[in-house]
Amino acid sequence: MKTARFIVACCISIGSLSPIGTSAADDPVPKFEKFLLAAKDATNEGTLVYLNQHKQAWAKRRFSANDVKFDVKKTDSLVNPILGLVTLSLVTEQTDLYPTEEEAAASVVFEPKFSTRYRVSLTYSYKDAKWSFSKGTYESFAPFMKGKTFDLSEEKIRNEPTATPTAALMYWLPK
């Protein structure tokens, strides 16, 4: 009887041990899910007034992130032992152009005049209990760019804050 109690006690003890240096608070999957939900919510949040640099006129635009799928994988790498992989469909819509920022902001009805859909793939790495952006790609379904794939880096996203789709992807960079 003593042997059975000892074995049960050892099994309970061993089962409750976490790997050395980790805790439930360090679990990368819930952190990644929380980050992705916040990124999707921020992307879908509202309408923005922006300067269309190409046309040198103002417009309203909105973004929509849909079909967000993700996976978290352990790798054999010592540098990036855990990766987060995300795919999503991103739609950008823009209104007519306005000569001034004030006129664009004052428009109350959002009638999309231009719409573009993108397929986006993003890769993140988890190290030192935090997620960081590694790389990404996007494919545009605009008629003049259909089927072309473009590389994304954190630098490109941060340096092109008004271009599409990078303006929407700012929300997908960890803080």
Instruction: Write down the residue that tokens 């003593």 correspond to.
Output: 2
CB 59 within 8 A of CB 104: yes
**pLDDT for res 147:** 81
pLDDT digits (tens, 9 = 90+) for 74-85: 999 988 999 999
CB 121 within 8 A of CB 135: no
What is the spatial distance between Cα 151 and Cα 43, in angstroms, rounded to a whole number? 20
**pLDDT for res 36:** 97
DSSP lists the bridge partners of residue 48 as: 61
**pLDDT for res 15:** 36
pLDDT digits (tens, 9 = 90+) for 15-44: 332 333 455 568 999 999 999 999 999 999
**pLDDT for res 24:** 59
pTM of the complete model: 0.82
**pLDDT for res 17:** 28
**Confidence label for 46 from pLDDT (cuts 50, 70 and 90):** confident
Q: Can you tell me whether residue 147 is helix, strand or coil?
A: coil
Q: What is the mean pLDDT of residues 58-67?
A: 96
Residue 173 has a CB neighbour count (10 Å cut-off) of 14
Taking alpha carbons only, the member of 60, 67, 71, 95 closest to residue 167 is 60
pLDDT digits (tens, 9 = 90+) for 88-103: 999 999 999 999 999 9
Question: Contacts by 36-42 with C-beta closer than 8 Å and gap 24+?
Answer: 36/68, 36/70, 36/86, 39/65, 39/171, 39/172, 40/65, 40/68, 40/88, 42/171
**pLDDT for res 25:** 62
pLDDT digits (tens, 9 = 90+) for 118-148: 999 999 999 999 999 999 999 999 888 888 9
**Confidence label for 5 from pLDDT (cuts 50, 70 and 90):** very low
Q: What is the mean pLDDT of the chain?
A: 86
Q: Would you give the distance in Å from CA 9 to the centre of its chain?
A: 44
